[in-house]
Amino acid sequence: MPRKNRPVNPKAEDELDSLKEEVAEELHLDDDIEKRGWENMTTREVGKIGGNMIRKMINLAEEEMDKKDGKIKKDKSTGKK
């Protein structure tokens, strides 16, 4: 069964790309990406970027939950939390 590697919200793709670029820059990998391209980055390098993206997204979600007294907002379009 093929995986669908797409965000739940199609509009989020641009935001995720921006976050990926931001994290790559923070890890000082942006010059390597510019020189070699994403397809030539090592698994370790892209794994660092992905792991840091997840950390940032978790932190953002926790901040949002704190603002809402620990409640998770339910997405009306998908019915998912």
- Is the pLDDT at 77 greater than 70? The verdict is no
Confidence of residue 6 (pLDDT cuts 50, 70, 90): confident
20-65 pLDDT, tens digit per residue, is: 999 999 999 999 999 999 999 999 999 999 999 999 999 998 888 8
Compute the distance between CA of residue 13 and CA of residue 1 in angstroms, rounded to an integer: 23
Q: Is 69 helix (H, G, I), strand (E, B) or coil?
A: coil
pTM of the model: 0.72
Q: How many helices (H) and strands (E) does the chain have?
A: 3, 0
CA neighbor of 53 nearest in space, from 80, 77, 29, 78 = 29
Number of Cβ within 10 Å of residue 12's Cβ equals 12
